[in-house]
Amino acid sequence: MSDSTDRLSWPHAPVHRLTEHGIYFVTAATLHHAHHFRSKARLEVLHRGLLAMCSQYEWRLEAWAVFSNHYHFVAESPGTAESLPVMLGTLHEKLAKWVNKLDAAPGRQVWHNYWETKLEEQPTYFARLNYTHQNAVRHGLVKVAKDYPWCSAAWFEQHTSSAMVKSIYRFKTDKIADEYDVDADW
């Protein structure tokens, strides 16, 4: 047998199983965690783009947070979740072209990949809501989540009963991995 047939194929990207309707937790990251969206203006474009694409593809956002090198969101899919790769592909292509034009870096790869998890258990769902709303605090960007302009915490607190906010914010998030160092220059 040749060397190449002896090797096992190893997946280099997560398998996306998107044939079911549901609520999904999604994380996307820039290549090598590069801080391409470092500044208020760039964060605003990333934020606005994410919200617009989710609306266009009819993904009902429940929580979101965008940073200089990654973003998270929790959203309910429209019917099946099969539109997710197209939606994120469109978003990432538009953002990459925009930021590459700003940086005079045509053709540079900006985005690396995305990961999604279907949230099927209520405690897992509530923990991901809390995690996403509080992510700017976890990264040390603000002391109170609602003070970070590019996340859903302020919106959530305004549109949800205080009892529900307190309940969601009690869910533990310490076991949710977060390997991103964000840029504090916003």
Task: Please indicate, yes or no, if residue 183 is contained in any of the structural domains.
Answer: no
Sorted by sequence, the CB contacts under 8 Å of residue 22 that are 6+ apart come out as 76, 77, 81, 118, 119, 120
Query: Per-residue pLDDT averaged across 142-163, rounded?
Result: 95
CA of 8: how far to CAs of 2, 5, 23, in Å?
Answer: 12, 8, 33
Task: Please indicate, yes or no, if residue 5 is contained in any of the structural domains.
Answer: no
Task: Please indicate, yes or no, if residue 3 is contained in any of the structural domains.
Answer: no
CA–CA separation, 39 vs 184, rounded Å?
9
As a whole number, the mean pLDDT across the chain is: 89
Q: 63-74, pLDDT tens digit by residue?
A: 999 999 999 999
Helices (H), the chain: 3-6, 40-56, 84-102, 122-138, 153-159, 162-169
Q: Check residues 7 and 185 and name the one with the higher pLDDT.
A: 185
Task: Please indicate, yes or no, if residue 58 is contained in any of the structural domains.
Answer: yes
Task: Please indicate, yes or no, if residue 57 is contained in any of the structural domains.
Answer: yes
Domain count of the fold of the chain: 1
Domain that includes residue 27, residue range: 17-169
pTM of the model: 0.85
What CATH number corresponds to the domain at position 164?
A: 3.30.70.1290
Residues 150, 72 contacting (CB under 8 angstroms) = no
Task: Please indicate, yes or no, if residue 11 is contained in any of the structural domains.
Answer: no
Task: Please indicate, yes or no, if residue 65 is contained in any of the structural domains.
Answer: yes
Q: 80-109, pLDDT tens digit by residue?
A: 899 999 999 999 999 999 999 999 999 999
Task: Please indicate, yes or no, if residue 156 is contained in any of the structural domains.
Answer: yes
